[in-house]
Amino acid sequence: MCSSISWCVNRGDFKKRFEVILSQEDDTLDGRSKNILRERYVNMVNKIEIGAKRSSFWFTTFSGLTTIGSIIVPALISIQDKTFDVNSDEEDQKQHENNIYWASWGISLMVTMSNALVRLFSFDKTAITRKLRMNHLKSEGWLFLELAGSYSQFETLQGAFQTFCNNIERIKTEQVEEEYTFNNSFGNPSFREGDSSFGRNSSTEEQPRESASTDTQEETMV
């Protein structure tokens, strides 16, 4: 069962490759740091990767059902009052129309539910967000092991370890905040797409008030 689902395939590929490199760094990383990398960082990447594949799978499935159903329903309605049997009587015609009616009703319900589920769980947005964060985390890990990029200032992996931990926790926090915003934006006008921080709107609204009070003071002085 698991082997037939896309998000279960090659789920340990990154972990195996990272472990190979990590096992060769006996002199530059202590045992505690390696355990943190395995238990926190590697597991974090695997979970986000599985989540990204899961969201992509459901988004593709429900979008496909919506598209196919939207094509089938008009086609069924167009042949509802037509029969392809020249020997059919009135009772057969009513049965044909009844079958088409219930088939159209069922497919229309499926289309509506599929579209609602995509919007409710934001499968499209979470799939993109998780893939971006997954690639970001993987890239951060390889830069750390290579002491490249922002880690080029350090001479050893142990010296760059704390900075690396801060970076991956920041990336994880940003990913959680983005998904929380997506999930709460459905039916809630206070959440706007692209605004993932709380209090930003309030600070923006306070600026015109301050300028208005300043203008009033100037008019009073005049």
| Residue 212 clears pLDDT 80, i.e. is over it | no
Q: pLDDT band at residue 165, thresholds of 50, 70 and 90?
A: very high
| 218 occurs within a structural domain | no
Round to whole Å and give the CA distance between 136 and 168: 9
Q: What is the DSSP string of 141-177?
A: HHHHHHT-GGGTT-SSHHHHHHHHHHHHHHHHHHHHH
| 166 occurs within a structural domain | yes
The fraction of the chain above a pLDDT of 70, given in percent, is: 72
| 2 occurs within a structural domain | no
Q: Where is average pLDDT lowest: 10-19, 92-101, 173-182?
A: 10-19
* The two structure tokens encoding residue 56: 């992509």
Q: pLDDT band at residue 190, thresholds of 50, 70 and 90?
A: very low
Question: Considering its fold, how many domains does the chain have in total?
Answer: 1
| Residue 191 clears pLDDT 80, i.e. is over it | no
Q: What is the pLDDT of residues 43-102, one digit of tens each?
A: 899 889 998 999 999 999 999 999 999 999 988 888 777 766 656 677 777 887 888 889
pLDDT at 221: 44
* The two structure tokens encoding residue 156: 């050893």
| Residue 211 clears pLDDT 80, i.e. is over it | no
| 193 occurs within a structural domain | no
The fraction of the chain above a pLDDT of 90, given in percent, is: 28
CA distances from 67 to 7, 25, 72, 108, 114 (A): 23, 51, 9, 11, 10
Residue 121: partners with Cβ closer than 8 Å, 6 or more residues away: 55, 58, 183
| Residue 205 clears pLDDT 80, i.e. is over it | no
| 220 occurs within a structural domain | no
pLDDT at 20: 81
Round to whole Å and give the CA distance between 148 and 143: 5
| 86 occurs within a structural domain | yes
pLDDT at 56: 92
Give the structural domain span for 136: 30-183
| 88 occurs within a structural domain | yes
* The two structure tokens encoding residue 178: 């983005």
Q: Pick 180 or 167 by higher pLDDT.
A: 167
| 125 occurs within a structural domain | yes
